[in-house]
Amino acid sequence: MAKNPESQRSPNPQTRPASRYQPLDMAGLTLYSAHQRSHLAAVSSLAGTPAAGATFTDWLASLPGFLGVRRLRAAVDAVVAARQSDRPVVFAMGGHVVKVGCGPVVIDLMQRGLANGIAMHGATAIHDVELAMLGATSEDVGDTIRDGRFGMVRETAEFFAAAATLAEQHDLGYGQALGRLILERQLPHANVSLLASAIRLGLPATVHVAIGTDTVHMPALADGARIGQATLTDFRLLCSVVRDMGAATDTGPCGVWCNIGSAVILPEVFLKALSVARNLGARLDNLNTVNLDMLRQYRTGQNVVGRPVAAGHGHDLAGHHEIMLPLFRQAIIEAWTR
């Protein structure tokens, strides 16, 4: 049966029902004075413009008082308060911290007594050892992965195997064994080694290894039992440091955990160490954490600046390590000495 052509036509717009919505009459709105409103931005927080040759203190004071600057200042204040109360400040570092030349920045803070513990994963330790041994580190993975040469450096693998043996023989953690071996062998660039510096200064240095993530695990001389025992010893040592971050009184300052450039391993290690410390009764309600990285990551957001601390005690600072770490250091020492 043929359809009526008239039934296929669009309805006449003039016959459509009126919409239930019409432009709202604003005459009934209640207005109030801007002087009754709280404000998030004010001229007192605007950026200054220091002259050429200004001191760092003047430059730092000129930064606009918003967002990242507030977080930076809060992180600096937390570090200073922790050290004034003899609570630990720990720098937990990913490999890029060393690769982009920031080891001396952290070493300086260690020497000044403003960072009194370091933690790292296996890649950080490899770059630290290679800089001490060779004065250089890091290979072009895109090039060497194509023919199987990636990670097959003999000297580095032998050094880490020797450190694992030393750790087993003397009941040491992996970090202490690596640092001690750097000093014992008098590696030519030991002065830029974080691990060696920690040993010289008598500070805890822990290395947290996930088997299979590091190049030194590939050669046959890698001993999983020795590596595992050494890194487990370091985890337990770190738990002791994190417990000591607890305040002496319920309202006193706690220590500060600074996660720098580790997206997964060290945030996970920290979360477990923190649970151990709280289970054993540490007063950690006023703990401060700082995350410095180029990108914001899930685990650092949750396991560093989020879950472990009370609101306002987690400080997330995004930026390149080679800019942010020297800035953070200088701000700390300026605040410490004023």
CATH number of the domain residue 304 falls in: 3.40.910.10
Residue 299 lies in a domain: yes
92: number of Cβ within 10 Å: 29
Residue 330 lies in a domain: yes
Residue 55 lies in a domain: no
Distance CA 218, CA 158 (A): 11
Render pLDDT for 205-227 as a digit per residue (tens, 0 to 9).
Answer: 999 999 999 999 999 999 999 99
Confidence of residue 2 (pLDDT cuts 50, 70, 90): low
Question: Whole-model pTM?
Answer: 0.88
What sign has the CA pseudo-torsion 24, 25, 28, 32?
positive
What's the total number of domains in the chain?
A: 1
Residue 36 lies in a domain: no
Return left, alpha or beta for 285; rule: phi > 0 is left, psi -120 to 50 is alpha, else beta.
Answer: alpha
Kindly give the interhelix angle for 174-184 and 122-134, rounded to the nearest 10 degrees.
0
The reported pLDDT for the residue numbered 233 is 98
Residue 17 lies in a domain: no
The reported pLDDT for the residue numbered 13 is 59
Confidence of residue 45 (pLDDT cuts 50, 70, 90): confident
Please give the structure tokens belonging to residue 277. Answer: 């410390």
Residue 49 lies in a domain: no
DSSP summary character for residue 288:
E
Which domain covers residue 180, as residue numbers?
A: 63-337
Residue 261 lies in a domain: yes
The reported pLDDT for the residue numbered 5 is 57
Distance CA 217, CA 210 (A): 10
Residue 48 lies in a domain: no
